[in-house]
């Protein structure tokens, strides 16, 4: 897809499963199961979507899925359906060495797993020539997590870039990576999670990350139990979703397998999604 002079492709690292109750917080199961059916272990199936952006002569990868550094126990818990990110990059003629920039909206395991891979028993950056972007506060928290979120931060996903000197740490609420690609802090899921706004030629797309992980989470009150600051998530959904709808931006969802991209519209105090095909 073209946004003015910027080229945009939706990729994914395959499917996985998370507890449906945790994914929908206080929403009762009879309501959320209508849009996200659960398996016998109460898990719903989701996708780990990523973006490949070509802008300002740079090849930019937003999110890196869950990677392949998993024990058999964790594979069973999360039902990983096989990794797909690197083969999909190859389908676009891109090898790991070709990536110039990696953007991690935050450092939960399902967003940064392919940051690194194991070589001779050691985790090393998968994209050796890339600058990796993350918010400074997110990296600081990943290194000092609390009891509630410790299991989702895996040091092998983020410490190798510190050793290789590849981190570019974002500070503040806005940061322009290259012209037309801007990082915007969207707190709620974590304190310093970022979204990505892509603009060119009078067109705009917004990668919402885990502020709105799927189109099923468009209702304001449908907030994940995984969120560290759920009321902040609610505030930011009420701020950003009407803006995306009114401005006609393309909304991009990090975990929606059926509708990774949509146009939003306001309808009787609700936000409704209309699917858009993006290759």
How many CB atoms are located within 10 Å of the residue 145 CB?
A: 13
- With b for 16 or more beta-carbon neighbours within 10 A and e for fewer, the 66-80 pattern comes to bbbbbeeeeeebbeb
Q: What percent of the chain has pLDDT over 90?
A: 97
CA–CA distance, 260 with 151 (Å, rounded to integer) = 26
Task: Please determine, for residue 21, whether its predicted confidence score (pLDDT) is greater than 80.
Answer: yes
Would you state the pLDDT for residue 239?
97
In 3D space, the residue among 261, 185, 266 whose CA is nearest the CA of residue 3 turns out to be 261
Give the pLDDT band (50/70/90) at residue 269: confident
Average pLDDT of span 93-113: 98
Average pLDDT of span 34-45: 97
């Amino acid at each position: 897809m073209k946004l003015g002079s910027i080229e945009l492709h939706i990729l994914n690292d395959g499917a996985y499963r998370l507890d449906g109750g945790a994914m929908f917080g206080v929403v009762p199961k009879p309501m959320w199961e209508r849009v996200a059916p659960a398996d016998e272990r109460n898990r719903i199936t989701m996708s780990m979507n990523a973006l490949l952006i070509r802008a300002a002569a740079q090849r930019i990868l937003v999110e890196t899925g869950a990677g392949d550094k998993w024990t058999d126990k964790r594979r069973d818990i999360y039902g990983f359906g096989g990794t797909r990110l690197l083969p999909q990059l190859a389908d676009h003629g891109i090898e790991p060495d070709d990536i110039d920039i990696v953007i991690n909206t935050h450092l939960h395991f399902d967003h940064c797993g392919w940051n690194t891979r194991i070589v001779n028993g050691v985790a090393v950056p998968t994209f050796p020539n890339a600058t990796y972007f993350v918010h400074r506060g997110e990296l600081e928290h990943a290194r000092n997590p609390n009891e509630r979120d410790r299991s989702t931060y895996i040091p092998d996903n983020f410490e190798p870039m510190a050793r290789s000197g590849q981190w570019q740490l974002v500070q503040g609420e806005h940061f322009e990576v290259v012209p037309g690609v801007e990082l915007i802090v969207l707190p709620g899921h974590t304190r310093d999670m970022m979204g990505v706004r892509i603009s060119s030629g009078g067109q705009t797309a917004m990668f919402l990350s885990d502020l709105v992980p799927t189109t099923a989470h468009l209702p304001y009150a449908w907030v994940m139990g995984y969120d560290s600051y759920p009321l902040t998530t609610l505030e930011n959904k009420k701020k950003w979703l009407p803006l995306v709808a009114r401005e006609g931006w393309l909304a991009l969802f990090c975990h929606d397998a059926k509708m990774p991209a949509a146009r939003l519209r306001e309808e009787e105090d609700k936000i409704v999604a209309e699917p858009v095909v993006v290759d």
